[in-house]
Amino acid sequence: MMRFVLHEDPRSGNCYKIRLAAALTGQTIERVQYDIMKGDTRREDFLRKVNANGRIPVLQIDERFLPESNAACWFLAEASPLLPHDRFDRADVLRWMFFEQYNHEPNIATLRFWLHFVGEANLNRFQKEQIMAKRAGGEHALTLMEEHLAVREWFVGESVTLADLALYPYTSLSEAGGFRLRDYPHVCAWIERFEALPDYVAMD
Non-local (6+) Cβ contacts of 134 within 8 A are 106, 107, 110, 111
* Residue span binding a second copy (CB under 8 A) among the ranges 37-45, 67-75, 113-121, 194-202: 67-75
Q: Which of 15, 20, 56, 72 binds a second copy (CB under 8 A)?
A: 72
Cα within 13 Å of Cα(186), Cβ side? 14
Do the Cβ atoms of 5 and 31 come closer than 8 Å? yes
Where does this chain touch a second copy (CB under 8 A) — which range of 36-44, 141-149, 171-179, 190-198? 141-149
Nearer to a second copy, 158 or 204 (CB): 158
Select from 6, 29, 50, 66 the one that contacts a second copy (CB under 8 A): 66
User: Peptide bond preceding 106: is omega within 30 degrees of 0, i.e. cis?
Assistant: no
Segments in 65-203 forming alpha helices (H) = 69-77, 87-99, 110-112, 125-149, 162-172, 185-195
Nearer to a second copy, 99 or 114 (CB): 99
Give the DSSP letter of residue 134.
H
Q: By the criterion CB under 8 A, which residues form the site for a second copy? A: 52-53, 61, 64, 66-72, 74-75, 78, 87-88, 90-92, 94-95, 97-99, 101-103, 105-106, 126, 129, 133, 144, 147-148
